[in-house]
Structure 1
């Protein structure tokens, strides 16, 4: 076992032919005490557009590998990246979803209107049991969002009983009639979603009172201690966080959520194109992405006032880039392409979450298939993996590893009169003593040379992976599925205690040091 390890990373950028800027990152293995909770790498799938229907759940006559109507090529791709949890059924949809409409004989289930996402008809063929089967096939943990906005206390209480109780009761009887004898043992359960907006347009004081009431009647059953997650703030609404932390007893609340989307333009009315943008627009997008660092820091500080022992998790259960939809598609279906820029957003955001692992213990990318910053796009019987998918595949090494806190000073990436940090990073050590460092170069124009001095025990090997592409606008398409994929990276060299590596412009690199 490595006793002590000291990294001193010198990041050098050529400012011109005669001068260089220098930046440093340092860490000590003795400080590796906080676990990066694997649930930070969670996913989100809502009844929205083709996220469920046409994504995970296909027509019975579709010519793709299936279990029932669950699409297995998508499932198998996601299994490879070890997604730890899947959030469902929403989103805004959650607070108009009545779970009993989605159980029993699919042919007899009532239909409903999905008022939030296009006014389309929801046939409820994908309900609780289908979702649980999907989670089983994915080998992932279910995270269920309960209906606070238009539901009742009894309805929510009954849903938890249906999923988790193993004794004799009306809800257990219903579950067994649906073909499931044993309970599902769901642990993660949200009480409402975006209660400040589509979940009810509530004040934080009113929501906190409702949470206390609903939480009282959502019970923990044997084998399934319920981790209740409160509907937290929209972006920088620190007042919402303050009221919830003040008014909700900490023993009722496992986590408090936070939602923040990277909007390229910063304008919700005209968000910007996913594939056609200038360097200035790219810079502004990354500046907005980096705001997550400020949000997590400040919300955590509010939580610390009431919870200095950090018992309550900050759950960022909706995050990602949100652009204008693909032209010609239903604008309410939120289908967007996924570029090299979006991979940099994902990698940067995950680095932020890793570095705040003392408080951020769960997060969910929005969304998994065909919606927003998805990992998978489908088109009929065909599918592809997006650049964001490959980021999650690289970063899975951090799951449940010990965080190596970084002291970091980096060069600036400048655009006009503005600047942002050119490099961000996170590092961890796993149970086998392997050190993983994920580095992101946001600079659109310059490669960055990293010199890493490792003091402590000798290391025998270094290897790496890289995700990059010629253009920031590059995407994987159905005519070219492998334009932006991870490749073996041989650009890192080790000599005694020194590692040198050059990060190509706008790239993501993951190093493994043994």
Structure 2
């Protein structure tokens, strides 16, 4: 379906099962909703309120997955069919393409990187439901990881998020409980809120990967982390952020927005760290 169209989902599975749950006319293993979170403002021109609005639109992926999963359960109680979110990402108005012949090409800023990160966290936390997920297009298009033209090539902020999150692949998802204040903002005269902290965690042998996204545009977030059932021996933190929320990489300045890593002098089961404003953080914990 396009977005979270539950009516389309019900019609599809009703036809597929002929009204009898699990009586599939043809075998399928995946069902693919497409969800682009659109834009708020433009790719490079947006207000503080539009910063939060786009991230709220991206976070709707969590609702989409849960509601689609519940609708599918009416026809597939054992959940043999999984979700395949094979198109997602920010889709901005035209105007920032590097070549007019590149269809739907757009610049990606720090805001797009946070949208990508919280979406990947959502996928991680619903890994029992989402069997596969694909960013829309890889190069020169919607929410791309790379931009290229002739001999020129640059990695977008989205690429660095994917690079940071790759340690989750092939690992075992861990249950995370996040508690943080909601962020309030006003757009088009309407007051809205969004959770200020997103994240996910996974374990592979003795390496625990924790990714956290602080949506607060201007304020750091002091975060207390409690690891249950294990002791941390070493922590390496990798952070993607910038003082300018509109920061992006170009052919001329390819390293404006790149992640930086440092070792933290913290061990044990409980510790406190500070998340920088408008940041994606990965913590690699050796247990």
Q: Which residue of 2 aligns with 1:451?
A: 224
Q: Which residue of 2 aligns with 1:246?
A: 14
Q: Which residue of 2 aligns with 1:392?
A: 162
Gap change, CA 1:385 and 1:250, over 3 Å in 2: farther
1:320 aligns with 2:89: yes
Gap change, CA 1:292 and 1:312, over 3 Å in 2: same
Query: What secondary structure sits across from 1:472 in the alignment?
Result: coil
CA deviation after TM superposition for structure 1 residue 493, in Å: 4.4
Return the alpha-carbon distance in structure 1 between the equivalents of residues 201 and 110 of structure 2: 22
Q: Which residue of 2 aligns with 1:507?
A: 279
Return the alpha-carbon distance in structure 1 between the equivalents of residues 85 and 256 of structure 2: 30
Return the alpha-carbon distance in structure 2 between the equivalents of residues 288 and 260 of structure 1: 10
1:383 aligns with 2:153: yes
Return the alpha-carbon distance in structure 1 between the equivalents of residues 238 and 108 of structure 2: 20
Higher relative contact order (CA 8 A, sep 6+): 1
**Correspondence for 2:243 among 470, 475, 494:** 470
Please say if residues 233 and 267 of structure 2, whose CA atoms lie closer than 8 Å, have aligned partners that are also in contact: no
Total equivalences in the alignment: 274
Please say if residues 212 and 282 of structure 2, whose CA atoms lie closer than 8 Å, have aligned partners that are also in contact: yes
Query: What secondary structure sits across from 2:206 in the alignment?
Result: coil
Return the alpha-carbon distance in structure 2 between the equivalents of residues 507 and 344 of structure 1: 7
1:259 aligns with 2:31: no
RMSD of the alignment, in Å? 1.7
CA deviation after TM superposition for structure 1 residue 401, in Å: 1.1
Return the alpha-carbon distance in structure 1 between the equivalents of residues 216 and 28 of structure 2: 40
Please say if residues 325 and 331 of structure 1, whose CA atoms lie closer than 8 Å, have aligned partners that are also in contact: no
Q: Which residue of 2 aligns with 1:221?
A: none
Q: Which residue of 1 aligns with 2:115?
A: 345
Gap change, CA 1:250 and 1:511, over 3 Å in 2: farther
Task: Please state which structure has a larger fraction of its residues in helix.
Answer: 1
Gap change, CA 1:251 and 1:408, over 3 Å in 2: farther
CA deviation after TM superposition for structure 1 residue 485, in Å: 0.7
CA deviation profile, 1:112-159 (whole Å, cap 9, x unmatched): xxxxxxxxxxxxxxxxxxxxxxxxxxxxxxxxxxxxxxxxxxxxxxxx
CA deviation after TM superposition for structure 1 residue 403, in Å: 0.9
**Correspondence for 2:124 among 338, 348, 354:** 354
Please say if residues 263 and 288 of structure 1, whose CA atoms lie closer than 8 Å, have aligned partners that are also in contact: yes
**Correspondence for 1:300 among 50, 62, 69:** 69
1:234 aligns with 2:2: yes
User: Normalised by the size of structure 2, how large is the TM-score?
Assistant: 0.90
CA deviation after TM superposition for structure 1 residue 310, in Å: 1.9
Return the alpha-carbon distance in structure 2 between the equivalents of residues 503 and 407 of structure 1: 17
Gap change, CA 1:250 and 1:484, over 3 Å in 2: farther
CA deviation after TM superposition for structure 1 residue 256, in Å: 0.5
Gaps of 5+ in 2: 17-23
CA deviation profile, 1:439-494 (whole Å, cap 9, x unmatched): 0001101100111133433331111211111111100011110011111034x442
Gap change, CA 1:250 and 1:433, over 3 Å in 2: farther
Return the alpha-carbon distance in structure 1 between the equivalents of residues 83 and 123 of structure 2: 10
CA deviation after TM superposition for structure 1 residue 318, in Å: 0.5
Return the alpha-carbon distance in structure 2 between the equivalents of residues 459 and 263 of structure 1: 40
Q: Which residue of 2 aligns with 1:408?
A: 178
1:419 aligns with 2:186: no
CA deviation after TM superposition for structure 1 residue 368, in Å: 0.3
CA deviation after TM superposition for structure 1 residue 326, in Å: 2.8
CA deviation profile, 1:76-132 (whole Å, cap 9, x unmatched): xxxxxxxxxxxxxxxxxxxxxxxxxxxxxxxxxxxxxxxxxxxxxxxxxxxxxxxxx
Return the alpha-carbon distance in structure 2 between the equivalents of residues 346 and 239 of structure 1: 27
Please identify the structure whose Cα radius of gyration is greater.
Answer: 1
Q: Which residue of 1 aligns with 2:142?
A: 372
CA deviation after TM superposition for structure 1 residue 250, in Å: 7.3
Return the alpha-carbon distance in structure 2 between the equivalents of residues 454 and 406 of structure 1: 10
CA deviation after TM superposition for structure 1 residue 360, in Å: 0.6
Return the alpha-carbon distance in structure 2 between the equivalents of residues 250 and 408 of structure 1: 42
CA deviation after TM superposition for structure 1 residue 425, in Å: 0.5
Return the alpha-carbon distance in structure 1 between the equivalents of residues 154 and 259 of structure 2: 14
